Amino acid sequence: MAIPMILVAGIAEERLDELKKYCQVTVGPKHAGADWYQDHIQGYDGLLAANIKVDKALIDAGKQLKIITSCGVGFDHIDVDYAASQGIVVSNCPVSVMQPTAEMAFTMLLGLTRKIHIYDSAMRFGKFLDTSQVQNQGQSPMGKTLGIFGMGRIGQTLAGYARAFGMSVLYHNRHRLSVDKEREIGASYVSFEDLLRKSDYLSLNAPATPETYHVIDQAALALMQPTAFLINTARGSLVDEAALLAALKEGQIAGAGLDVFENEPYCNPEFRKLDNVILTPHAGSATKEARRNVLKEATNNLVSFLVEGVPVNRVN
């Protein structure tokens, strides 16, 4: 059997030792765009795509492609439907990012509710805030309600963290979970409108799809409580950023934790002017452990299919 040939985009070669045990691996230039991959993909069996847009043109150029795997849970940069129409498997890496992304969401929840970013900023400017004043006090998450939009692996992990802190958990999902699963994770299903109305903290954990595009818009924000916080560690496209900025400036909601943005790496500078926002650079899975594990998962996706003929983590 011929050794599978893999083209890799957006991952340093020194991190691919495990994949090299089973496949012939070529790593694209560090700053190469989709055009370079379109010119060089012919003859490769698999594409490991971390940071390039895999569209129809690129897929058509890869006439020998059998599998495309994302290096993470998200696959909105891949034209999944067109790949399927060409008989190409698309896979992702959902397990590796599950815990760290949930950790990031809950870290933002704690940071916002306990005003960590405000205290830190004040201290760095030499100001020791008087915490006997109500405006300088945070609040405890205990007894509050966490709403989760998108109850997949990450959402379910986040629900566990919330329950450990004495929070109630509501969720809305495209498909309702079984009663046994709801009981296991301690979460109650509600309509999307009730999720908005009843959540003290609303965490977005759904994938980027046409259905979730700008699901948090002006109308959705208007339903949220003025004391509520929005947390997005999913995809920037879920939020209408102009509407969110207006809501934050006008006090329509209390604050936001944003790890993802509509036009990354661009972040609207208006967010930086607000002291009720925490901003991080799409770092939900940015732990050393997660980055090692996601490459193991991606390697398993490719090797399992190309060597053993068994597709895993398939999304099409």
Q: Among all residues, which ones are annotated catalytic?
A: 235, 264, 282
For residue 159 the two structure tokens come to 């629900």
- Residue 96 CA to residue 296 CA, distance in Å, equals 9
CA distances from 87 to 60, 67, 134, 209 (A): 12, 9, 61, 21
Q: Which residues are CB-neighbours of 124 under 8 A, at least 6 positions away?
A: none
Quote the CA–CA distance of 312 and 90 in Å, as a whole number.
Answer: 10
Residues 6+ apart with CB under 8 A from 200: 144, 145, 146, 147, 225, 227, 228, 229
Tallying the residues shown for the chain, one arrives at 316
